[in-house]
Amino acid sequence: MNRTITWLSVVLLVVSLAVVGGISLQARPGSQGVVSQAYAGDPPGHHAHHGCGNKTLKGAYGGSFSSSTLLGGTTVVVGLLTFDGKGGVTAALTANLNGTVLKQGAVGGYDVNPDCTGSLTLDVGPGVLEFKADGVIVNDGDELLFISTIPALVTSGVAKRL
């Protein structure tokens, strides 16, 4: 049971990190989530961006995130997310789940909206976990802010272009 909870936490973390990887940054049709509302406009004094798309995320991003689960576990993750500029992402992650250190790879997809919000999905092992996140791209594509959209996984993170 403990090993199952540990793997579930790792998978959730990897997915979250992938999300950090900007990761599937797409708002749901017809909705404006908290992240979208918070970053829908440029801050005062900031130059307006020229719009975003999947090509905004291309190359390697280093990221970290932390999470807690409804089961009471805490996880921290650090890793490398590589975006292909076409909606595909791979991740190499190291997670510490309540003192257990694990390394895991993940693959997935992302979608970036013109307003620089988006969504990410990462598959962490066949049948293990599918991580989903929403986020926003800031600083002209150099940084990603994200949160998990999985109700049982409270996760937030940041990824920065290398």
Q: What is the pLDDT of residues 3-44, one digit of tens each?
A: 333 333 434 444 343 333 333 333 334 434 434 333 344 454
Residue 13 has what pLDDT? Answer: 41
pLDDT tens-digit readout, 91-122? 999 989 889 998 989 999 999 999 999 999 98
Contacts for 82 with CB less than 8 Å, ≥ 6 apart: 21, 59, 60, 61, 89, 90, 91
Nearest-angstrom CA–CA distance, 17 and 27: 18
* Domains of the chain and any CATH numbers: 2-161 (2.40.128.120)
pLDDT averaged over the chain?
76
Separation CA 131–CA 144 (nearest Å): 16
